[in-house]
Structure 1
Amino acid sequence: MPGEHRRDGVNEPALADILGPGLSVVFVGTAVGTASAERGHYYAGRGNRFWQLLHEAKLTPRLLAPEEDASLFDFGIGITDLVKGVAQSHDRGLDFSGAAGVAAHLVAACPRWVAFNGLTAGREAARILRYGGSVALGEQPWTLGTSRVFVLPNSSGAYASMPYAEKLRWWTALAALVAV
């Protein structure tokens, strides 16, 4: 059932990864939001602009709905999160103890690019991988296995301090690199 996170007393991921070999880019968030967990699909919150940014940056040929998240494989795109549980409060108080395992899965999948959806995810990944905490938007000087790394402004409506046009500029810059 969407939003269910325990089975037989064992913590289950809020959503299954959309991850596999041969992908062009995998988007990595911090944790699944409550609306996404309830609907059973990534980036399903009303204020989240992920799908719009993905399309307007030309990473998908049409605007997808969250319910179409599994179709991202058709476009060479994957999705996962550093924290496998549900974020109750916009990235605060999250347990990143399993993030090293997520990083290992990303290294094994070997996408051309890993794109962190937000500075929080990018900084936490850099910290876990011992690249330090100095992370800025854009392409990073470090890799995740053989995958190049890019940090995007967060697509969530909770991070509205950056104008949409500026967010789209960063997403379009990633799309240009992915297309090469």
Structure 2
Amino acid sequence: MSLPDILGPGLRVVIAGTIAAWDRDALEHYYAGAGNSFWLLLHESGLTSRLLAPDEDQLLPSYRVGLTDLIRTEPSPRGEPPRFDVAGFHAKIAAAAPEALAFVSKTAASSYARAAGERAPRGYGELSWSVVDCPAFVLPGPSGANNGMPLPLRIALWRDLVDFLDSL
């Protein structure tokens, strides 16, 4: 199970995460968990002109931002990395044709890289590879589990995405 993609025409960026749990859709909206700073980072970076609430996620295409996830194809055996539908992910990114793709964490970028045969990212920022001819970028994760990184640094790294988009 997964949340429906939030995509549309003319997107500047699609932000892609990875479903860490099979029951994530129980939240009903992207990044709605307690302690998640996604919506604050989105606004403070300049990607949205106002702070949106998770239940306003359907408004994102009006800001030229889309959301999707890497989708697990099946539970992985213990000790093995998750298995993802790379072909399906490529198809939806190609169909959306955003100016860029941003992975919402190194975990998401590394999961994609492992599944697609690319080199895992070492840091944040622009990646040396693309996803179906779409330039790719890595953001620091917004979850409460990433609270070891100070919020001002996370905001600065998300603003780097806006600078990257402006350079395309």
- TM-score bucket (shorter structure): 0.7 to 0.9
Distance 1:84 1:130, change over 3 A: closer
TM-score between both structures, scaled by the size of structure 2: 0.86
Q: Return the offset for 1:127.
A: 2.0
3-state SS of paired residue (2:146) = coil
Q: Among 9, 14, 27, which residue is 2:2 paired with?
A: 14
Q: Is the 8 A contact 1:26 1:79 kept in 2?
A: yes
Distance of 1:124 and 1:103 partners within structure 2: 14
Q: Among 28, 36, 39, which residue is 1:51 paired with?
A: 39
TM-score between both structures, scaled by the size of structure 1: 0.80
Identity of aligned residues (%): 40
Distance of 1:107 and 1:161 partners within structure 2: 35
1:105-144 to structure 2, matched below 5 A, reads 105-144=92-131
Q: Is the 8 A contact 1:33 1:43 kept in 2?
A: no
Q: Is the 8 A contact 2:121 2:127 kept in 1?
A: no
Structure holding more helix per residue: 2
Which region of structure 1 is more displaced relative to structure 2, 126-135 or 144-153? 126-135
Distance of 1:66 and 1:133 partners within structure 2: 29
Distance 1:147 1:155, change over 3 A: same
Distance of 1:93 and 1:48 partners within structure 2: 27
Q: Is the 8 A contact 1:119 1:136 kept in 2?
A: yes
Show structure 2 runs of 5+ residues with no match. 74-78
Distance 1:34 1:124, change over 3 A: closer
Partner of 1:77: 65
Distance 1:120 1:37, change over 3 A: same
Distance 1:168 1:33, change over 3 A: farther
**Once superposed, which parts of structure 1, at least 4 consecutive aligned residues long, lie more than 4 Å away?**
32-36
Distance of 1:94 and 1:62 partners within structure 2: 37
3-state SS of paired residue (1:26) = strand
RMSD of equivalent CA atoms: 2.3
Distance of 1:138 and 1:14 partners within structure 2: 27
Which region of structure 1 is more displaced relative to structure 2, 143-152 or 122-131? 122-131
